[in-house]
Amino acid sequence: MAAVRGYAAQTAGKQRRVGIIGPGWYGKCDLLRLIQIAPVEVVSVCDVDKRMAEEAGDIIASRQASKKKPRIFHDYRELLKQKDLDLVLIDTPDHWHALPAIDAMRAGLDVWVQKPIGVDVVEGQAMVAAARKYKRVVQVGTQRRSTPHLIEARDRFINQGKLGRVGLVEIYCYYHMRARGNPPDTSPPAHLDYEMWTGPAPMRPYNEWVHPRRWRAFMEYGNGIVGDMCIHMLDQARWMLGLGWPKRVSSTGGILQDTASKSNISDTQTATFEYDDLKIVWQHRAWGHPNDPQYPWGCTFYGDQGTLKTSVMMYDYIPLEKGSQAVHKDVTYEFEQYPEDRTEKDLERHVAPAIRGHMKDFLVAIDNRSRPVADIEEGHISTTSCILANLSMKLERTLAWDPKLQRVTGDEEANRLLKRPYRAPWVHPDPAKV
């Protein structure tokens, strides 16, 4: 059966009942990879966009073994009330991660939640608290940790000491990904429940950027390019080097180039995450040329014996010693095992193997009741670090973080910004009351 290709044989007889909240672009990318590697039955789909939900239901029916179309919901709370799921995928916009994830954990479900785990720090604290209280397995969609060529690079060069002492990691994104222009505000389309789509976020006038996919143009729904792209590379660097919380975070930048756009996220930003004996330095610039055209989005490790450049597409190991062998490796596609990858609409084909690996790790953790490679606490560290970078830029000062107290040291103004106001009637989750 196609559904069990590539997944551990001992689980082949277990069919898991799955729901998805937010089956848009990346929701389908995630869910259809799960269908490829495990015997699952997708029984429920939820989206506030009725058209998107129906289209996703039809696609799922065509791809899952039973050929059954899942039930359609437009309020995630109704999906959870059915009490007939084993796990749920949450692939909503960032401002809608925390509440469905916590409610799903409370309902006894294991959870896959996309990165970043939330839009503020207290949301993340509450999600970690809920996972521990209800003993749920929660995998965050930071799939660099499951990318085959990056696992190889870590094991072959970092873990074997080929770089020597790593003192600096540069992480960066030079994609021209910030929305440009000023689309007019309009009434939302009839098939979209815009009140529910907005949920706990501030209510903005609707325009075409809000839905679908370009909502990241607005800080109301996320944390800009740092929250979208830096988190991947920061999380990768932490995983590959075995790092936890940074001690200090500083950041500068803003809207320095494209001042005419309606978008309110920075187009230029630098952030420094400080550890005991190294620094991780982020830069994004949504204009101009990348520093290295081969690595427009990536993570470079500098050691005193060599350099390792990594991205979603490849890695390059460059030894310092003359005469030593440099190594280049491209991403591994899996078209022969998964021919659907060739034709699936909007799939990031180079990422498909990483998502499958991440899903396998998630399912093994569920079977073993253990923590997956991108456990919710790891997602909280990476998410919070990126949020602190934005707060540092806003406050124009370095922020020192106390991981035990989960607060900024000696800065009450910064601590007040760790929790965003929620729009009524939605209530912000409290870590002590999940």
Whole-number Å distance between alpha carbons of 123 and 97: 9
pTM: 0.96
pLDDT of residue 135: 98
Q: Residue ranges of the chain with pLDDT lower than 50?
A: 1-6, 8-10
pLDDT of residue 33: 98
* Tokens (6 digits) for 72: 């359609």
pLDDT of residue 2: 40
* Tokens (6 digits) for 353: 């193997």
Q: Are 263 and 180 in contact (CB under 8 A)?
A: yes
Helix (H, G, I), strand (E, B) or coil at 157: helix
* Tokens (6 digits) for 123: 């949301």
Q: Are 89 and 18 in contact (CB under 8 A)?
A: yes
Question: Which residues on neighbouring strands pair with residue 316, listed in sequence order?
Answer: 309, 328
Whole-number Å distance between alpha carbons of 83 and 37: 24
pLDDT of residue 191: 98
Residues 6+ apart with CB under 8 A from 254: 266, 267, 268, 269, 393
pLDDT of residue 9: 43
Cα 155 to chain centroid, rounded:
23
pLDDT tens per residue across span 164-185 = 999 999 999 999 999 999 999 9
Q: Could you tell me the CA-to-CA distances from 101 to 87, 92, 98, 110, 315 in Å, in that order?
A: 11, 11, 5, 9, 34
Name the nearest CA neighbour of 72 among 93, 50, 104, 87: 50
Cα 80 to chain centroid, rounded:
23
Whole-number Å distance between alpha carbons of 430 and 137: 20
| Element at 277 (helix H, strand E) | none
Domains of the chain: 2-145+362-375 (3.40.50.720), 148-334+379-416 (3.30.360.10)
pLDDT of residue 201: 98
Whole-number Å distance between alpha carbons of 172 and 234: 9
